[in-house]
Structure 1
């Protein structure tokens, strides 16, 4: 029996713990008594009811426990998180768990097409949206090549970490103002922990569930479960995604799209009929942690492992191993207007997106509606999202190629198995027929600098004045210069640095937020720049409304797509060459700074030996990382942390389970 003093339930204590994986959830039923056992059963029922009452009372008193530690930071109140959703809780919706099937490829044609009517009819009332995730591992047989004798057995399989038994993970949807609950069960083997981070969401009033392991949370241990509570602001909408934020785990399959619908956004955009996700990602044949040791070892000068494959929505792919065969097609009704939401959910490489014989009108970048901008193609870095409307330049009675071309200039070592031109069939006939090449522009292999779409071409659709200093100056309240480089240090280890700090997670199961809240005598922030230990670099901003500029000077020979949790930022300067000078603030005639409606986003690529200046307002309490979203670079230390309004988040109510996870063995 589970320890009643622990609000977690250890799933390994249940004999039926594998029932979900085996898709036998319907077998958990009530057995009806026979006539010969009624008297005994009646006694058992009375005893069971009494025992359940006793256990419930103990658990209730346990969850009401209030730590009166002398720093006064532990303010858990069970009333805020009153509805628990353990794996076998009577409140849980088992039908959602039962979506696990033996078909490991998710039907993205259905799952990644949104029912706009449903969500639009649900505008106006904030609701809870509950999603149930069962995390497992699986070695799968590659489709279409089971009988290919030219391939080794290892080349015919893929190792995956799955959400509800399928790859990629399912779509999460909500409306602005809703609250998303992610009920996550960790059934991974070998004591592997897991976490879930919703990339781009702000987590207002609940920064504890951002899911960044070692920064603002601890992971879910194997055999345990946790419910993430994600409030969605009424003014947040657009295209996002979610992924594991534990080590290299998301590259193995724990990632999927997330969309926030809004009437306010509908009013900003031209009308459209269909809404679809196009999710692209690079892929590694083996579990990525098997590459990590070699990547981080002495003597490796930031030579990132080269991917083995690329996907569009997990299934549309062309590789040498498949002998140019295409598995499926994307059907588009020629009478409808389509919005495509592009997500680069990869681990390493940017790609160039295009559809032959189509113009693409960009209307959204990272959840921000932008002034419509028409292109033939565009580059999308890891972690970024864009929405486009399709504009046809030819007839709608045939098929066309969709391309995600991965930039081969960005890899140090080539991989003969990786066909970097991953493409799918876009069909207006719903018939399988390989199209002719009708590309109207020239592709030369991608940007040699692994650059991003020129941010100076993008502007926020709803014009708003960028925050300025109270004295009217273009200068911010606080400016922090961040020099970015990979440096070979002791033991010939090549690490990523912000200034003189390279990040390594805590040597125990804890997080920076946990330490600042519950161990404030040993760890505290004083001033802007803080070093809590030799690997924990924290920028501290303690005044609500502060205007902060981060100057990102990239002294590395590679590009870095930086993502900031908890905030969006204005890109007020971006250059592929040179370095930032403070005099640019004072002489706007130089054209080095964009204060007139720059784009507002949360993911920006800074090219090699280039720079960018991003501006944000301190208005969201929490501890949030700023990091390169190339997964290998995070593990190499290219991450710092922002401690925003600690006096405020220390007073917020949090789920006691959030704190308790840091006491569990990972």
Structure 2
């Protein structure tokens, strides 16, 4: 007979002596020695595997409750490798904030597993669609996908959706020069708003022999949250009775968790709500070193502002790791859907605190009595408290006013080779049943049955607005996008496959504030910024205004440009560029 003794990562079976047994009773000291040796070797092998990056960390490795602790130490010193993952997409009933709702799950978790990688890694993700009667596709937001245009995941442009019951393997390589905070999300229907997304962090390799200490890094995925399904919210937006008003969210989640006050529910929309009072910490800060928050706005509609009690936050980088010049402030706002920011928590806090998340309600066209626009999430700290470090502090830092260091724009030419003037607007037209549709240059986008990259251009229908940019490998063209916004609210636009420099932004308080460089000598609001333009892949184009974006067309393929507000994309505010 045997008795089982458990170690930290293994189990040892020892013979059980009985009065009639011929097996000698083992010695206690010998057992302890064997147990110690095996446990040491097992734990050591696990640590070595993680250190060498053979098994990529996911959020579950560092998350307890809602905490997402990242592991740069497992990636910055290793060689580039292949990360192979297997994901099964399903849906299920969950209570992210206490309200029961169907959400999308990847391998049974929401949000989906976090991918941690380093520059130069190859990523292979086999996705099995086990949804009932739903297609899906995943987009790798912010990655250049250079050489991997057909893996970009934009249904109707570069990809066909994965039909129910089928599988597809995404296979691409991260560029050697890319690092920063990215994410992946559904690029089919409106599934992103119901949770089909996750974090993707690409760590920058550390110089060989470098001994610089690494900060504690925390992934913070913030989103506005709807208690009805995204399909129901879209139906409201496109119904005549909605009068073209975007659906206002009901709650806020951080890393898929929240705490909705059930008493805020309105009788007209009854909820299955259970109070959530005892929540684990959203963030756990290490007082013994610097802490960096990698913040993603994964929401469908609203911008978000952040603050942590008793600390200041200093912006370090935006989107795909593009360094910024920013002043430490008590509060940073607003980060809009699709945008990311890395902020340094400065200094370490003395005691436990809370993260305050505020929704930007300035774009809401009607009040939602079920929504409390400011939510608080627990923040814990461990380690010995340190003296508060003095620093420049402002009450508030406007993330839309950040600039980059002057050196980052040295490659910019004084003139672009090509300029496209674009006009985006939401319209309700009789010929389209008076429901809101998004337009860019009089074209409202709809996906065709086959992705554009598989079709001859002559077969593209009237819903495809895709200007052509000639590709020159030895001397790629510089392209200006003058993106005018004719609406009364701002639009966060995302360009697939490319980063761009924001040369100018302007919003008018009394007219439409549009800009056409073919008709106007100077842009309203001032000249282009060539000294410290911000580099991004998602930009907020202000209401009644414009943004001038300059990018280098050195990445062949068909790349989508669209508003990242879920309801605007779903109703046609999208186009693409063909670089070939």
TM above 0.5, one fold? Answer: yes
SS state of the match for residue 425, structure 1?
strand
Q: In the aligned structure 1, how far is the partner of 2:342 from the partner of 2:452?
A: 35
Matched, 1:428 2:381: yes
Q: Distance in 2 between matches of 1:561 and 1:417?
A: 25
8 Å Cα contact 1:106/1:167 also seen in 2 = no
What's the counterpart of residue 389 of structure 2? none
The separation in 2 between residues aligned to 1:267 and 1:345, in whole angstroms, is 37
User: Which residues in structure 2 correspond to 1:7-406 (within 5 Å)?
Assistant: 107=64, 109=66, 112-122=68-78, 125-141=79-95, 156-189=99-132, 191-263=133-205, 271-298=213-240, 300-320=242-262, 325=277, 327-329=279-281, 330-374=283-327, 375-378=329-332, 379-392=334-347, 396-406=349-359
Question: Match of 2:577?
Answer: 642
CA contact (8 A) 1:106 1:166 kept: no
**1:523-561 deviations in whole A, cap 9, x for unaligned?**
3xxxxxxxx422111111123311111111111011100
CA RMSD of aligned residues (A): 3.2
CA distance in 2, matches of 1:501, 1:405: 34
Identify the match of residue 535 of structure 1 among 463, 469, 489.
463
Gaps of 5+ in 1: 1-95, 146-155, 431-439, 447-451, 469-473, 524-531, 646-666
Contact 2:77 2:206 in 1 (8 A): no
Maintained 8 Å contact 2:59/2:70: no
Q: Is the 8 A contact 2:124 2:171 kept in 1?
A: yes
> Which residue of 2 is the match for residue 511 of structure 1?
451
CA distance in 1, matches of 2:340, 2:209: 21
| Unpaired runs of at least 5, structure 2 | 1-54, 264-273, 384-392
CA shift, 1:494, in A, is 1.9
Using a 3 Å threshold, how does the CA distance of structure 1 residues 539 and 230 change in structure 2: closer, same or farther? same
Deviation of the 1:295 alpha carbon: 1.9
Match of 2:532 among 594, 597, 602: 597
Q: Is the 8 A contact 2:64 2:280 kept in 1?
A: no
Q: Matched residues in 2 for 1:135 and 1:504: separation?
A: 25
Structure 1 residues 108, 239: CA separation in 2 closer, same or farther (over 3 Å shift)?
A: farther
Whether the 8 Å contact between 2:307 and 2:330 is mirrored in structure 1 is yes
CA distance in 1, matches of 2:260, 2:140: 29
**Equivalent of 2:550, from 610, 615, 621?**
615
Distance of aligned partners of 1:391 and 1:640 in 2 relative to their CA distance in 1, 3 Å threshold: same
Q: 1:376 to 1:270 in 2, by over 3 A?
A: farther
For the 8 Å contact 1:563–1:626, the answer to whether it is kept is yes
How far apart are residue 580 of structure 1 and its match?
A: 2.4
Residues 213-269 of structure 1: per-residue CA shift (max 9 Å, x gap): 011100000001010012100000000000010010111111111001112699999
CA distance in 2, matches of 1:359, 1:396: 10
Mapped partners of 1:569, 1:576: distance in 2: 20
Q: Kindly tell me: are residues 466 and 340 of structure 1, through their superposed partners in 2, closer, same or farther at Cα, counting changes over 3 Å?
A: same
CA contact (8 A) 1:272 1:339 kept: no
Query: For residues 215 and 639 of structure 1, what CA distance do their matches in structure 2 show?
Result: 11
Contact in 2 for aligned 1:299/1:494 (Cα 8 Å):
no
TM-score, normalized by length of structure 1?
Answer: 0.69
- The alpha carbon displacement at 1:563 in A equals 0.3
User: Counterpart of 1:576?
Assistant: 507
Count matched residues.
495
The structure with more strand, counted as a fraction of residues: 2
**2:408 is matched with which residue?**
463
- Aligned counterpart, 2:565: 630
Aligned equivalent of 1:454: 400
> How far is 1:292 from its partner?
2.1
| CA shift digits 1:383-432 (9 cap, x unpaired) | 0000011113xx833122211101122222322222211221222259xx
Moved more, 167-176 or 281-290: 281-290
TM-superposed CA distance for 1:100, in Å, is 13
Determine if contact 1:326/1:424 at 8 Å carries over to the other structure. Answer: no
Conserved? CA contact 1:363–1:371, under 8 Å? yes
